[in-house]
């Protein structure tokens, strides 16, 4: 594995708010940061015309950063105005856009103070979405880690399962049905659809990670006494099958029953994948580091779609989370942790893969050079986990190739 240090091109961790505020329906995310942070959130989320979004920015200006204004008083005033305007808020997240040394404000202590001041009205939590501390998807990790500290203690006889990681509601419902058919339960999800419905956790709680970038959350759950059940991530037929199998083995489910339950979903997944396999087979692909989904997605594209990964770049490598995935990556693939942007772009230009997975800021320049690209952010915003989404996952990568063929024709 190659480790690189240099200029990075990754999305800011604040972007996680865009999918978190849609999933946790009674929460509000107040970013404490600059006008630049406000513009980022607005750009990442798009223009919402028909509904008032549940995120905003408390803007710090030069007086605040120079210590000429009392940031605590200003924050208290903004929070009071927000809660008066939005009485539906059940949990308020204070999101730091920079480390506390830069903000000159300890958001952890501010959250404790505001929770006490508004006790019974709203729960106030804090986490960091700083682009200096976190990569694109780590904002979710720091958010869920903050939630874990506030999960209620489970009763001593509560043998529950927890699926950890933000999932689209349709996928959550599909997984819940499969677990029920397997006789595994009760199964709860973190984050919940309402922050007021936090799942309990205790020594008899077992959890599966649905997303590969939740290392801090996993460690926080283990510290609360929960047990991690390691597995591949539920991407593709192989990944979803092994993810469910890990739970089934841990729960003592008969394997004949397991095969009967997954037979129909696997058949649907094979049918969905067949439509795109010919477009993908034999095509060469490179991943620039961005979403932390690069390794399991490359495993799916290589083993199930016949693509040839040339290079897999990851912002950082969590070897514990990727313990099952790494042995399935082809030996000939260059695996890169970190980024030296110019060097990586030189390798892409030299290899000229059929498809390059990268962030938004690099896609258009590479397209202008005649290289087909796929936005890595789509892997987060598109429902891709589980059997019924296998065809959709393959289509994400086939679509640029199909478009290119049609343009040439």
For the annotated binding site, the residues are 12, 37, 98
R_g (Cα) of the chain, nearest Å: 22
**Binding site membership for [4Fe-4S] cluster: which residues?**
12, 37, 98
Bond from prior residue into 186 cis (ω within 30 degrees of 0): yes
The residue whose two tokens read 């929770």 is 115
């Amino acid at each position: 594995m190659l480790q690189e240090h240099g200029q990075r091109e990754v999305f800011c961790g604040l972007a996680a708010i865009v999918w978190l505020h849609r999933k946790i329906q009674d929460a509000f995310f107040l970013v404490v940061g600059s006008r630049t942070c406000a513009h980022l959130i607005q750009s990442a989320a798009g223009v919402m015309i028909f509904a008032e979004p549940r995120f905003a920015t408390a803007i710090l200006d030069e007086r605040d950063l120079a210590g000429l204004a009392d940031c605590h008083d200003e924050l208290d005033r903004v929070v009071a105005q927000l809660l008066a305007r939005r009485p539906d808020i059940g949990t308020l997240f204070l999101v730091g856009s920079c480390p506390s040394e830069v903000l000159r404000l300890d958001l952890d202590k501010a959250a404790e103070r505001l929770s006490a001041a508004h006790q019974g009205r709203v729960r106030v939590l804090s986490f960091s979405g700083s682009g200096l501390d976190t990569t694109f998807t780590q904002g979710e990790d720091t958010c869920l880690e903050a939630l874990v500290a506030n999960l209620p203690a489970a009763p001593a006889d509560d043998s529950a399962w927890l699926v950890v990681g933000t999932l689209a509601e349709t996928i959550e419902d599909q997984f819940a049905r499969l677990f029920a058919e397997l006789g595994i339960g009760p199964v709860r999800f973190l984050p919940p659809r309402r922050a007021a419905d936090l799942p309990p956790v205790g020594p008899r709680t077992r959890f599966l990670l649905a997303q590969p970038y939740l290392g801090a959350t996993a460690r926080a759950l283990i510290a609360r006494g929960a047990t991690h059940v390691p597995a591949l991530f539920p991407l593709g037929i192989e990944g979803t099958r092994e993810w469910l199998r890990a739970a089934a083995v841990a729960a003592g489910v008969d394997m004949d029953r397991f095969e009967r339950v997954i037979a129909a979903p696997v058949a649907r997944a094979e049918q969905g994948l067949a439509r795109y396999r010919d477009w993908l087979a034999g095509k060469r692909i490179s991943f620039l580091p961005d979403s932390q989904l690069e390794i399991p997605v490359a495993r799916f594209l290589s083993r199930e779609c016949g693509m040839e990964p040339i290079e897999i770049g990851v912002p950082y490598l969590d070897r514990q989370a990727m313990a099952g995935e790494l042995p399935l990556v082809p030996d000939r693939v260059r695996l890169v942790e970190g980024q030296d942007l110019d060097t990586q772009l030189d390798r892409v230009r030299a290899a000229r893969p059929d498809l390059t997975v990268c962030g938004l800021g690099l896609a258009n320049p590479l397209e202008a050079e005649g290289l087909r690209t796929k936005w890595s952010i789509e892997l987060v915003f598109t429902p891709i986990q589980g059997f019924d989404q296998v065809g959709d996952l393959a289509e994400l990568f086939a679509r640029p190739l199909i478009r290119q063929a049609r343009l040439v024709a």
